[in-house]
Amino acid sequence: MDQTEQLSKLISEIYDAALDPSLWEHVVGKAGRFVGGPAASIFSKSPISGEGNVHYESGIGPHYWELYCGKYVKLDPTTTGHYFADVGQPIAVADLMPYDQFLDTRIYKEWVQPQGLVDFVSAVLDKSMTTAAFFGVFRHERDGIADADTRRRMRLIVPHVRRALLVGRLIDLKSAEVATFADTLDGLNTGICLVDSSGRIVHANLACHVILDAGDPLFAIAGRIAARDAQTHHFLLQLFAAAGDGDAAMGTQGIALPLTGQDGTRYVIHVLPLTSGARRITGIAYAAAAVFIRRVAFEALSPPEVIARTYKLTPTELRVLLAIVEVGGVPEVAAALGVGETTIKTHLRRLFGKTGANRQADLVKVVAGFSSPLISQRM
């Protein structure tokens, strides 16, 4: 099977997993092998709470994941860099810190090296104020560190993984059985509309009817869905036509289309193709795609971003500050980050000067003051 055929089949299985979450473990493993590694995962972690959660994984196993989530996530020097990475862009360890410095960290010596691993290439799928979700592939000694081809392959599949996960979170189906699909859509608060390749509405749930009847930001004309914004409308028509041609034709754009209503209300639209793979059984009356529209809250800055901006911290200073909160004193932070204690003390002096804190305990209070008790995270 050549790479084009392999990629097409993989993309189809990724979108099938949007409607059948039981497929994700298999799909994640297959995606990891396509990128070039024996293990892969979809996981989330927070630089604020120091917590991590594995949602789907293949190749690492429960023992090492329990060790990571229970202990090493707090020692992981790449967490802050991961959080601030651009959504969808492949990043490896060397993009986040000097690789030779990484080799001196506790997480490398105690968690990475014993498994024969040498690198981890990942991409942010989504992020909130406190947490980011990722798709990542582990590279083994026999694979070497991530190279240009590894990144290229990540770029080919990450947009599809992201689209499938975003849609899957909205509908939360256990299986894509045609007998229950329409009923399931009708019971959701998210506006969902099934359309053919020309945008003709085949089925719309109640929430979608409410939006269309209001005529803003989407409306129906001559039985077809349309957007008030001309550019978005044109792009939607392109996506619908592409959906009729199969998964690969959907491309990597239009994963989350932003829209703003006339009253300033913000929405986001996702489009899932239904003409390939197991999703064909849900294609009621020849629907080519499912359109999902939901309101979104104001996107505030995350606590780490606010802290960094407030005190004008460099990325390294922010990483040390968060490590002080999660790991502890100077010796522990130095060991976790793979640098000397003198280096940590230098950063501490700068942190004291910028924040006005006098003790490490005061730094903990600084971070705690920026944490929001109103935010709870789940995939």
pLDDT digits (tens, 9 = 90+) for 72-118: 998 898 988 888 888 899 999 999 999 999 999 999 999 999 999 99
Task: Report whether 370 contacts 129 (CB < 8 A).
Answer: no
Q: Which residue has the higher pLDDT, 297 or 298?
A: 297
Tokens of 348: 């501490």
Report how far Cα 222 is from the mean position of its chain's Cα atoms. Answer: 37
The average pLDDT across 262-290 equals 72
Residues 185, 162 share a domain? no
Q: How confident is the model at residue 170 (pLDDT cuts 50, 70, 90)?
A: low
Number of folded domains that form the chain: 3
Residues 274, 314 share a domain? no
Residues 140, 70 share a domain? yes
Domain that holds residue 274: 178-295
Task: Report whether 239 contacts 271 (CB < 8 A).
Answer: yes
| Lowest mean pLDDT, pick from 103-107, 227-231, 258-262, 363-367 | 363-367
Q: Which residue has the higher pLDDT, 302 or 160?
A: 160
> Is residue 374 predicted with pLDDT exceeding 60?
no
Q: What is the pLDDT of residue 188?
A: 62
Q: Is residue 379 part of a domain?
A: no
Residue with tokens 């998210």: 190
Q: Is residue 85 part of a domain?
A: yes
Residues 188, 154 share a domain? no
Q: Which of 142, 171, 200 is the last residue of a domain?
A: 171
C-alpha 121/C-alpha 139 separation (Å) is 8
**Strand, coil or helix: 29:** helix
Q: How confident is the model at residue 183 (pLDDT cuts 50, 70, 90)?
A: low
> What mean pLDDT is reported for the chain?
83
User: Phi-psi bin for 356: left (phi > 0), alpha (psi -120 to 50), beta?
Assistant: left
CATH code where residue 28 lies:
3.30.450.80
> Is residue 135 predicted with pLDDT exceeding 90?
yes
DSSP class of 327: T
Residues 220, 108 share a domain? no
Residues 22, 145 share a domain? yes
Q: Is residue 134 part of a domain?
A: yes
Q: Which of 295, 315, 350 is the last residue of a domain?
A: 295
Tokens of 51: 């917590």
Q: What is the pLDDT of residue 191?
A: 86
Q: What is the pLDDT of residue 373?
A: 36
Q: Which of 153, 171, 189 is the last residue of a domain?
A: 171
CATH code where residue 314 lies:
1.10.10.10
Residues 189, 143 share a domain? no
The average pLDDT across 20-29 equals 93
Residues 158, 213 share a domain? no
> Is residue 179 predicted with pLDDT exceeding 60?
no
C-alpha 327/C-alpha 75 separation (Å) is 7
